[in-house]
Amino acid sequence: MRRLRGGAKNPKTPVLNLRNVGSTRISGFRILDITDLSTVPRASFDAVVCTGGALNYAHDREKKAVQEILGVTKPGGIIILGAMSLIGSVLRYAKALRSEKDKYGLEAMRWVLDTGIQDPQHYPVENKHYVHMMRAQEVDALFHDEPVEIVERRAAGLLALAGEEALNDAAEDEELWQLLLEKELEYSKNPAVLDCGLNLMYVLRREDHRVLTSGGPEVPKWP
């Protein structure tokens, strides 16, 4: 297997990734801004993985982030993209909605449920967790006019909506648990439930052979 290179916005992420993947398979890390990958060689990666909600924090630069990701991916390369789901988040955290409404008001709740956006103007959460939770149609729109094929879309975290207690109970029966995992994979690609998972997961393929203008110099020099 080829060695991996990683980038992150949070300085703690490289340490966590090293623990999870193993340092012998990681050839380098950089702290990066998803909306500016100009220091990364263009068309240099066979596969790019962007999960953990990075796209959700790009705010009004989401389109730029998508173009930057495409810019560092080789023609024919694969992109695995994850984004926090608005509807899935509402379902998962429905228990907290009343207290949120009491704290921020009905119009603030209407705003976040309509747009998925937590921002200082409309939804000034105390922890300053400003984020754009997305619908699948919004992710689709970001790639609509880009040189990319959407290979597959899935809902991630469907079983998590059942709650920790129910999952722990089911996991005690190994046969039942394996069946549920199989069915979650089956259900996750059903278009009817795409927005219901905690995350939207996309597999995309960059189609054309143009070297896109985002990204850095042609010659790969990134250690």
Whether pLDDT at 171 is above 90: yes
CA distance 152 to 205: 10
CA distance 69 to 52: 15
Q: Report whether 220 contacts 50 (CB < 8 A).
A: no
Q: What pLDDT is recorded for position 29? A: 76
Residue 13's pLDDT band (boundaries 50, 70, 90)? Answer: low
Sequence spans of domains, the chain? 32-84+134-206, 86-129
For residues 176-182, average pLDDT: 96
95-138, pLDDT tens digit by residue? 999 999 999 999 999 999 999 999 999 999 889 999 999 999 99
Residue 2's pLDDT band (boundaries 50, 70, 90)? Answer: very low
Q: Which fold has domain 32-84+134-206?
A: Rossmann fold (3.40.50)
44-68, pLDDT tens digit by residue? 999 999 998 899 999 899 999 999 9
Q: Report whether 174 contacts 108 (CB < 8 A).
A: no
Supply the pTM of this predicted model: 0.83
Whether pLDDT at 11 is above 70: no
Q: Report whether 43 contacts 147 (CB < 8 A).
A: no
Whether pLDDT at 18 is above 70: no
Whether pLDDT at 167 is above 90: yes
Summary mean pLDDT of the chain: 86
CA distance 45 to 68: 12
Residue 3's pLDDT band (boundaries 50, 70, 90)? Answer: very low
Lowest mean pLDDT among 55-69, 79-93, 203-217: 203-217
For residues 196-204, average pLDDT: 96
